[in-house]
Amino acid sequence: MSSKDSSSPTAEELEHIAARFRALGEPMRLRILQAVCKTPRSVNDIVAATGSTQANISKHLALLTSAGILKREKDGQRVFYGVKNKLAVKLCELVRAQVTE
């Protein structure tokens, strides 16, 4: 699957790949990724940017963080989320380019 390694992925590797795609396979999570792709933002900023509720955003942030796509950083009482895996943003850009052709 990788251009660097010609061996087939293991079942465990395939499960990790599928988990990443599942994490990105929901429009609200893509909106969240879009909201934080340039700079980390607080939960309140993400809620405002997406127009969703705080409870809904928190649920999606937890999933994106556990999938390794976002990182979580605390600054005093505030929590900021930013992109941990830049490849996820690039993947979205590639798919968007294909869809808009």
Each residue's pLDDT tens digit, 56-83: 999 999 999 999 999 999 999 999 999 9
Split at pLDDT 50, 70, 90, the class of 1 is low
Phi, psi of 84 (to 5 degrees): -95, -35
Please report whether residue 82 resides in a domain.
Answer: yes
Please report whether residue 17 resides in a domain.
Answer: yes
Please report whether residue 6 resides in a domain.
Answer: no
Structural domain count of the chain? 1
Distance CA 28, CA 51 (A): 10
CATH of the domain at 33: 1.10.10.10
Domain that holds residue 57: 11-99
Please report whether residue 4 resides in a domain.
Answer: no
Pairing type for strands 78-83 and 41-42 reads antiparallel
Question: Would the pLDDT of 101 be above 60?
Answer: yes
pTM of the model: 0.83
pLDDT at 95: 86
